[in-house]
Amino acid sequence: MAELDYHICRPPLSNNRSLDFCAEAGRYALYLQYGCPFAQRANIVLRLKGLDKMISVVVLDPTKTPEGFRFTGLLGTMKKDPFYNFSHIRQLYWKVDPERIGPFTIPLMWDRKKELIVSNESGDIMRILYFCFDHLLPEYRREVNRPGGGFYPMGLRSQIDAMNTWIQSDINACVYDVGAAVDQESYDARTKVLFSAFDRVERHFAETGNGPFIFGETITETDVRLFTSIIRFDVAYSSALRCSSKLVRYNYPLLHKWMQLLYWDDSPTTDGAFRNTTFFEHSLRGLSTSRVSRLEYFESPKNAPNIRKTDAAWSHPIYSEKQMSDIRVAHRKADNRSDRAALATMRLLRWGMDTATGYKHDRKGLTVGNSGRPLTLMTESKWLTRVIFLESIAGVPGMVAASLRHLQSLRRMKRDNGWIETLLEEAYNERMHLLTFLKMAEPGRFMRLMILGAQGVFYNAFFMMYLISPRTCHRFVGYLEEEAVITYTRCIDDLDAGKLPKWETLEAPEIAIRYWNMPEGHRKMKDLLLYIRADEAKHREVNHTLGNLEQNGDPNPFVSTYIDPTKLHPTKSMVNLKSTGWDRKDVV
């Protein structure tokens, strides 16, 4: 960010580096909600600098809905966006990027003149406010004239940056990690990190003794960053996020004194900026209705006094890097009328899905790392939409087939020879794929309705098809999994080619790390795609094989013990993977 040049340099929200945002009074708006500690950082600096008359503040409801933050008019917030009459913050993001799926975060600094996002990162916004509007301010408010060198003084920058780093990870973010912990082990580990950081801050005040602020007699950026978490701790975090083993007012006297000084100060130093931007009711409302406080993460076990944690019924097998990288696109030739019907149905479904998601690819010569150029540009948001629709459908067949076979087994009073378990495990695995991508996308109401509609239609159609011809259905799923492997291969190729820059360093969601047991150093978006593609390749093998068997008599070859174990045969793992399935004569 350029300093004292009267311009705002746009942070890397966009790849377009040529955009300049000239600092002008009345041109910018700051979107925030009062319950958010990160948004409060920007709001405090706005008031400390006296910019609240030059930059509009737009306040949203603290409750985060599935569609993101919204305007409601409750608790003194605004009923509508004052500039565009929008009802949700995501509409502002869509004004810039109509294809954006999420997340739709705040605070957000908006350029009303160019109708573009300046930044949605609180740290960037804080520093923009420090420096870039100084030419519009009275002399005493300019950074060069502030006591101690301003909020980010040159002589303290290395110390400020170092302290900011561990305060961010071990306090600002860690309180939410504690609240989101899904087992005792995780809770204990994150709680230890949190209160060790509190101890560290307390020692800092005790050892330096040159306060009253963190770096001496003047307020710096670190005071602002720490304050917004500490002021919420006893009032909200301790109960809503289960951080109650220690409290600031009882266990950290020096930290408590510092917090009180900032909160109650009405001198010209702060003009009440810390107290006037603190709204406890908003913080409590936001936490009491948030996903974090209710632990509404997908797959989170319910709290129970006698249960430490609940493991998945089907633990995911361990894949080696070689097994995942060796996956290849493959196609089983349609040899009979049943196969041709399955293939035609799959192609019709693929056409509908491609049309709905704006997806195309070049099937010719498609191999890992050698798939040619896409026919249309696929962005990260388009890929995410594509795979969400794909996984919404892929999770249906295993459950439908398993339920029908279960009922058939009960009616006939005979075993099903191991088919049900494999089909249920497949359904579970596909569901985990969907939940992982939903966690990334945070879909709104429209997308949820689209997903439910697609699932409803496909469920009933597949149910009727399976009653008529299970063999055709398994072949259909085999062909569908072929398409899934193509999709993920295409996506991996685009990522390797640098066409998906937002995903190059993106970490996999926690739900994925836990389910696939992703090792340290292999938890990026590409690693996640490799795991999921390997799963789809396994489902491709399973369903093509099941489509080759006698549906009511043959055993499931993937859970059978063979007379000659040295002979190649199907397994539950990736060992002996056969892309187009095993013929009946080779396994029965």
User: CA 90 to CA 134: how far, in whole Å?
Assistant: 31
CA-nearest of 159, 253, 242, 151 to 198 is: 253
* pLDDT band (50, 70, 90) for residue 360: low
pLDDT category of residue 309 using cuts at 50, 70 and 90: low
Q: Give 401-452 pLDDT, tens digit per residue.
A: 999 999 999 998 888 888 999 999 999 999 999 989 988 877 767 777 877 8
**Residue 248 CB-half CA count within 13 A:** 24
Residue with tokens 């960037």: 124
Residue 220: pLDDT band with limits 50, 70, 90: very high
At residue 317, φ and ψ (nearest 5 deg) are: -65, 155
Convert the pLDDT of each residue in 154-175 to its tens digit.
999 999 999 999 999 999 999 9
Whether residue 453 is predicted with pLDDT greater than 80 in this model: the reply is yes
Look at the alpha carbons of 563, 416, 342, 571 in this order and tell me if their dihedral is positive or negative. negative
Indicate the average pLDDT of the chain: 86
The mean pLDDT value for 91-118 works out to 91
Q: Which of 38, 44, 36 is nearest to 60 (CA)?
A: 36
Q: What is the mean pLDDT of residues 474-497?
A: 94
Q: Residue 259: which residues within 8 A CB-CB, separation 6 or more?
A: 227, 230, 231, 248
Residue 3 pLDDT: 34
Would you place residue 4 in the very low, low, confident or very high pLDDT band (cuts 50, 70, 90)? very low
When comparing pLDDT for 299 and 337, which is higher? 337
Which of 63-72, 401-410, 471-480 has the least mean pLDDT? 63-72
What would the two tokens of residue 39 be?
């948004």
* pLDDT attached to residue 14: 36
pTM score, whole prediction? 0.54
Q: Please say if the pLDDT value at position 564 is more than 70.
A: yes
Contact 59, 76 (CB under 8 A): yes
Mean pLDDT of 509-528: 86
Residue 552: its pLDDT value, please?
87
Any alpha helices (H) in 442-469, and if so which ranges? 445-468
Q: How much is the average pLDDT of 178-194?
A: 89
Exposure b/e, 62-89, CB count within 10 A at least 16 = b: bbbeebbbbbbeebebbeebeeeebebb
Q: The tokens 């997340």 sit on which residue?
A: 103
Side-chain-side CA neighbours of 194 within 13 Å: the count stands at 28
| Torsion-angle region of 577 (φ positive above 0: left; ψ -120 to 50: alpha; else: beta) | beta
Tens digits of residue pLDDT in 372-389:
444 447 888 889 888 998
What is the number of residues in the chain? 588
Tokens matching residue 469 = 């011809």
Minimum mean pLDDT range among 128-137, 440-449, 457-466: 440-449
Q: Where is pLDDT greater, at 22 or 115?
A: 115
- For residue 326, give both structure tokens: 């060796």
Q: What's the pLDDT at 566?
A: 83
Label residue 461 by pLDDT band (50, 70, 90). very high
Q: How far apart (Å, rounded) are the C-alpha atoms in residues 420 and 425?
A: 9
Tell whether the model's pLDDT for residue 10 goes beyond 80.
Answer: no
Q: 258-274, pLDDT tens digit by residue?
A: 999 999 999 988 899 99
Structure confidence at residue 1 (pLDDT)? 31
pLDDT band with cut points at 50, 70 and 90 for residue 371: very low
Q: How far apart are the first and last CA of the chain?
A: 68
Which residues, including other chains, have CB under 8 Å from residue 344's CB and lie 6 or more apart?
A: none
pLDDT confidence tier of residue 2, bands split at 50, 70 and 90: very low
Domain architecture of the chain: domains with CATH: 1-145 (3.40.30.10), 157-310 (1.20.1050.10), 321-331+372-587 (1.20.1260.140)
